[in-house]
Structure 1
Amino acid sequence: MRLARIRTLFVLSAMAAGTSLIAGPASAQTPYDGLWQVTFVTKTGSCEATARYPVTVADGRVTAAGAPISGTVGSSGAVRVSFSGASANGHLSGSAGSGKWNGASGGIPCSGHWEASRQ
């Protein structure tokens, strides 16, 4: 009887462990994860007038396929990004965001603003 009880506990423990392994670790999603369309607009300097990039936010990290964009989005929506030697910061809220950027083209400073919308 005692052996049967130990065997039952062992089987139940093994099943519970297997279930947790199948479920895997929870993903650390942020409220801003997903696909975003970002438009950079130059206000001063000789940088490209406008540039649009589809970017992906995953677990608070910003990346773009085929474009040198990387950065972070905090859980509060604070954005910090770098791209092609420039830097940008701002804020996302809900399905939109905006901010400022600074960089250079040919050694001449450029700056402007950016806008984002969730896709």
Structure 2
Amino acid sequence: MIRSILLATALVCSVPAVAAPARYDGTWSVEIVTEAGSCDRAYRYPVRIENGQVRFVGTAFTVNGQVARNGAIRGSISSGLSTATVVGRLGANGFGRGTWVASGSLECRGRWNAEKRG
């Protein structure tokens, strides 16, 4: 469950801006890298964006948010007693990157990279 929380975190956001253009819609492959703390070192997970709304491809998470018109990502994902916050940006070129921090029952942080796959 710890691994899944952090994987999905990469593209979870709660930016109250206008929904992103269709260029961000699709499935994104997200690589999560832990730089500090006891979370798994690295892993990859799919995230789906539809009409600017971000959702985890799977179950067991609470995901809220959207992608801002300029691709900015800011938000959170939670599961159980853990919450992870995310900041970063998606590019119109199909790539994105940023950072994440987990708190609650987890204490770790790191960076993420994303690539649009479809």
Higher helix residue share: 1
Q: Does 1:79 align with 2:73?
A: yes
Amino acid at match of 2:99: K
Gaps of 5+ in 2: 1-19
State the match for 1:20 in structure 2: none
Distance 1:79 1:54 in 2: 16
Instruction: State the alpha-carbon separation in 1 of the partners of residues 41 and 65 from structure 2.
Output: 22
Match status 1:116 vs 2:114: yes
What's the CA shift for 1:105? 6.7
What TM-score does the superposition give when structure 2 sets the normalisation length?
A: 0.67
Give the equivalent residue in structure 2 for 1:30. Answer: 22
1:101 aligns with 2:94: no
Alpha-carbon shift at residue 61 of structure 1 (Å): 0.9
1 or 2 for the larger relative contact order (CA 8 Å, sep ≥6)? Answer: 2
> CA separation of 1:112/1:81 partners in 2, compared to 1, >3 Å: closer, same or farther?
same
Output the CA distance in 2 between the equivalents of 1:51 and 1:105.
21
Question: 4+ runs of 1 displaced by more than 6 Å?
Answer: none
Alpha carbons 2:21, 2:69 under 8 Å: kept: no
Q: Let me know the Cα RMSD of the aligned residues.
A: 2.0
> How far does residue 104 in structure 1 lie from its aligned partner after superposition?
3.2
Question: What displacement does 1:49 show?
Answer: 1.3
Q: Partner of 2:38: helix, strand, or coil?
A: coil
Task: For 1:30 and 1:75, locate their aligned partners in 2 and report how far apart those are by CA, in whole Å.
Answer: 10
Aligned partners of 1:86, 1:33: CA distance in 2, in Å? 22
Q: Compare CA radii of gyration and give the structure with the larger one.
A: 1
Kindly tell me the number of residue pairs found equivalent between the two proteins: 91
* TM-score calculated relative to the size of structure 1: 0.67
% identical equivalent positions: 38
Q: Is 2:110 the counterpart of 1:90?
A: no
1:31 counterpart SS class: helix
Residue 83 of structure 1 aligns to a residue whose secondary structure is strand
